[in-house]
Amino acid sequence: MIKLKQTKGFWLSILFAFALFTIVQIVISSALINFYIVNIIMTMGIYIILAVSLHLIIGITGQFSIGHAGFLAVGAYTSAVFTMKLGQPLLIGLIAGGLAAAIAGMLIGIPSLRLKGDYLAIATLGFGEIVRITFFNIDYIGGPSGMMVSQLTTWPWVFGCMLLTILVIRNFTNSTHGRACISVREDEIAADAMGINTTYYKVVAFLIGSFFAGVGGALWAHNFYIIQPSQFGFLKSFDILIFVVLGGLGSMSGAVIAAILLTLVSMLLTEYPETRMVIYSLILIITMLYRPRGLLGTKEVTSLFTNRRNKKGGPKDGNTHTVA
Amino acid sequence: MEIIQQLVNGISLGSIYALIALGYTMVYGIVKLINFAHGDVFMVGSFVGFYSITFLHLSFFPALILSMVACALFGVLIERIAYKPLRNATRIAALITAIGVSLLIENGMIFFRGAQLEAYPNDILPTNKINLLGVTVESKSLLILGVSVALMIILQFVVHKTKIGKAMRAVSHDAEAAKLMGINVNNTISATFAIGSSLAGAAGVIFGTYYYKIEPLMGVIPGLKAFVAAVLGGIGIIPGAMVGGLLLGVIESLVSAAGGSLWRDGVAFIVLILILIFMPQGIFGKNKREKV
């Protein structure tokens, strides 16, 4: 009974999630909305997966990675090869895409033990570029002109992957491992001194983050009919980065909300791509100048509803007269 | 002789990288910030040069100087508006702001003038072919190399012989102590941005006269590569940026000569990752112990 009480929030959110799923599914299958809006919803789901996976790396572990599009590309191309060239079903493609991206994440994560802050950022950016140029030069997957992929991504797939990503990363964050990652973010030297294997946790964060980025990439590939290396340049990495930064470095719900909002904004401005980028960059600069922790900081949306009653400041014994 | 030809091309390209890398390395040395917008200052410099040549009908050197002055002002403006309020913020906040500024300059440029290409007129500099020991060298590339080297010598003079240079070195060594000695840290940082940006502006004009085509996104890749060059030479060290830039240019040209022209852009980043893993302090850098 106590256990049920403790996990009440969890089951409520699962219930809410399935209600959301069913509603959207009914709306889609009854053809109430046109194809364009369905596509926006799918894109939103994929962006949420990407934002949450980057949130684990930047927001929780504090490793500033700006090569997320590289993992996205690895996942997209691997899954496309599995489904299109080898004739496997989408599920195999998703898993293969995720695993390939995780291996890539480990490759970039292991050198990152020696790099910090700015240097890591540049190394991940370089990694993203190397991935793009590599795909550019492989003729088997179409080289610069890209690869045709049939549309297999459906709402249940997107939703399932999104839910899985959020659940895994949420539970990871709340576990011992997640707390270790947070301590690495707060102060790496102190964490090291407390006996935390910082290298191990950094690699784990990269591994999990890039796995889900790869899954997102697989869904991406099967949603847009064609994938080209030029889609995965560093502008794509910045697109994902801005979700995490705007939502709040360290807030998963913030990243999700930012992903939803900015996808809507960019859909409204599809006709004016420069205006969109000008707005994006202004958002980045103004957020950093006036609210450097992002909209929600490290808080979650759920914490706005709970605990307010219990959190009354002041000393425990009710003494209001003592100074200091 | 083919290989020497490629070496000459590599040195011309490398001197452009070196000029941009100098700005990166100076700014990093003094405020520990990777100024992502530096590549875009290079682009703006190139456009200022283009407009002053086509509309104001200036010749090469006046256009170069005008572009350097414009970029110096632009660099100081960026520093004052975007980076100064973040002097005491976290490194990640400063880095994200730099990325934001970079995107803003690129897309602002596209917003106001469109994304179309412009081409530098090809009669700015005489195009004689000079035969040097069996290698044909364009007089243009020699002149460009000469201009770059002259700018680097002037920079060395400014940094080592003038008062502002002394202040810059002091602030990059220890900003707090420099403040106590009566150095105006804010002005010194602005001066660093001004000098670095003016070199990027010069690189922009040189790039335009050498490769003709310019466009609003032209600064991204050279900017990143110049950063690689700065890391290669040891970030924060001025001679390191020059050597790193030239070396990177030569490596790229040799790779294209060896038949990997499609991989040319990738080489710089592979060099970067190798350097970061095996020799993070760079060629000229000293190994520093981490302070707790």
B92, A231, A273, A38: CA torsion to nearest 10: -100
Residue A118 is predicted with a pLDDT of 74
With tokens 């049920």, the residue in question is A4
Q: What is the DSSP letter of B130?
A: E
Cβ of A122 and B100 within 8 Å? no
Is the Cβ–Cβ distance between B81 and A286 less than 8 Å? Answer: no
Percentage, residues of chain A above pLDDT 90: 21
Beta-strand runs (E) in chain A: 147-148, 226-227
Question: In angstroms, rounded to a whole number, what is the distance separating the alpha carbons of residues A178 and A70?
Answer: 24
Neighbours of A168 (CB within 10 A): 16
Tell me, yes or no, if A136 comes closer than 8 A to chain B by beta carbon: yes
What residues pair up with A133 in beta bridges, in sequence order?
A: none
Suggest the residue from A145, A281, A287 to mutate for an interface test with chain B (most B CBs closer than 10 A): A281
Neighbours of A117 (CB within 10 A): 16
Distance from CA of B137 to the nearest CA of A (A): 31
pLDDT over 60 at A317, yes or no: no
CA angle A235, A236, A241 (to 5 degrees): 95
Rg of chain B on CA atoms, in Å: 19
Residues 6+ apart with CB under 8 A from B50: B118, B120, B208, B214
Q: Give the pairing of strands A147-148 and B129-132.
A: unpaired
pLDDT in tens, B18-57: 999 998 888 888 888 888 899 999 999 999 999 998 888 8
- Chain A residues whose CB is inside 8 A of the B102 CB are 281
Q: Which member of B95, B263, B277 has the closest CB to residue A137? A: B263
- 3-state secondary structure at position B283: coil
Q: Average pLDDT over chain A, rounded to whole?
A: 83
pLDDT in tens, A112-149: 666 777 778 888 888 888 888 888 888 888 778 888 88
To the question of pTM greater than 0.80 for the whole model, the response is yes
pLDDT over 90 at A100, yes or no: yes
Residue A324 is predicted with a pLDDT of 44
Nearest residue to B36 via CA among A322, A235, A81? A235
Residue B202 is predicted with a pLDDT of 92
Q: Where are the alpha helices (DSSP H) in A222-312?
A: 234-247, 252-268, 273-290
Is the Cβ–Cβ distance between A127 and A67 less than 8 Å? Answer: yes
Tell me, yes or no, if B88 comes closer than 8 A to chain A by beta carbon: no
Between residues B76 and B10, the one the model is more confident about:
B76
CA angle A152, A88, A17 (to 5 degrees): 45
Tell me, yes or no, if B103 comes closer than 8 A to chain A by beta carbon: yes
Orientation angle between helical segments A176-186 and A155-173, nearest 10 degrees: 70
Query: Which residues 242-271 of A are in CB contact (within 8 Å) with B?
Result: 245, 249
In DSSP notation, A86-130 reads: S---HHHHHHHHHHHHHHHHHHHHTGGGG--HHHHHHHHHHHHHH
What integer is the mean pLDDT of A229-237? 85
Residue B292 is predicted with a pLDDT of 40
Residue B47 is predicted with a pLDDT of 92
Tell me, yes or no, if B146 comes closer than 8 A to chain A by beta carbon: no
Question: In angstroms, rounded to a whole number, what is the distance separating the alpha carbons of residues B235 and B25?
Answer: 5
User: Which range is least confidently modeled, A114-128, A204-218, A274-288, B243-257?
Assistant: A114-128
Is the Cβ–Cβ distance between B42 and B175 less than 8 Å? Answer: no
Nearest residue to A215 via CA among A153, A290, A283? A153
- Chain B residues whose CB is inside 8 A of the A123 CB are 272-273, 276
Residue B69 is predicted with a pLDDT of 94
- 3-state secondary structure at position B131: strand
- Chain B residues whose CB is inside 8 A of the A238 CB are 99, 103
H or E segment at A315?
none
Q: Average pLDDT over chain B, rounded to whole?
A: 85
Amino acid at site B203: A
Cβ of A130 and B270 within 8 Å? yes
Suggest the residue from B78, B80, B92, B279 to mutate for an interface test with chain A (most A CBs closer than 10 A): B92
Tell me, yes or no, if B95 comes closer than 8 A to chain A by beta carbon: yes
pLDDT over 60 at A315, yes or no: no
pLDDT in tens, A9-61: 778 888 888 888 888 888 877 777 777 888 888 889 999 999 999 999 988 98
Q: What is the DSSP letter of B290?
A: P
Nearest residue to B50 via CA among B116, B133, B6, B137? B116
Residues 6+ apart with CB under 8 A from B160: none
Tell me, yes or no, if A130 comes closer than 8 A to chain B by beta carbon: yes
Question: In angstroms, rounded to a whole number, what is the distance separating the alpha carbons of residues B214 and B122?
Answer: 13
Domains of chain A: 38-232 (1.10.3470.10)
Neighbours of A38 (CB within 10 A): 16
Question: In angstroms, rounded to a whole number, what is the distance separating the alpha carbons of residues B118 and A3?
Answer: 68
Residues 6+ apart with CB under 8 A from B162: none
- 3-state secondary structure at position B144: helix
Question: In angstroms, rounded to a whole number, what is the distance separating the alpha carbons of residues B243 and B230?
Answer: 9
Residue A62 is predicted with a pLDDT of 86
Contacts 24+ apart (CB under 8 A), A15-21: A17/A163, A21/A155, A21/A156, A21/A159
Question: In angstroms, rounded to a whole number, what is the distance separating the alpha carbons of residues A113 and A108?
Answer: 9
pLDDT in tens, A144-198: 888 888 888 888 889 999 999 999 998 899 899 999 999 988 888 899 899 988 8
Domains of chain B: 2-114+134-278 (1.10.3470)
Residue A307 is predicted with a pLDDT of 53
Residues 6+ apart with CB under 8 A from A134: B266
Between residues A214 and B273, the one the model is more confident about:
A214
Q: What is the DSSP letter of A224?
A: S
Q: What is the DSSP letter of A309?
A: T
What integer is the mean pLDDT of A229-249? 86
Q: What is the DSSP letter of A60?
A: I
Suggest the residue from A107, A114, A122, A139 to mutate for an interface test with chain B (most B CBs closer than 10 A): A122
pLDDT in tens, A74-89: 999 999 998 888 888 8
What integer is the mean pLDDT of B242-266? 83
Residue B288 is predicted with a pLDDT of 57
pLDDT over 80 at A109, yes or no: no
Question: In angstroms, rounded to a whole number, what is the distance separating the alpha carbons of residues B56 and A45?
Answer: 52
Query: Which residues 35-94 of A are in CB contact (within 8 Å) with B?
Result: 58, 62, 64, 66
Report residue A92 CA to chain centroid gap: 21
pLDDT in tens, A248-279: 888 888 899 999 988 888 888 877 777 888 88
User: Which range is least confidently modeled, A153-157, A204-208, B190-194, B247-251?
Assistant: A153-157
Question: In angstroms, rounded to a whole number, what is the distance separating the alpha carbons of residues A42 and A16?
Answer: 19
pLDDT over 60 at B171, yes or no: yes
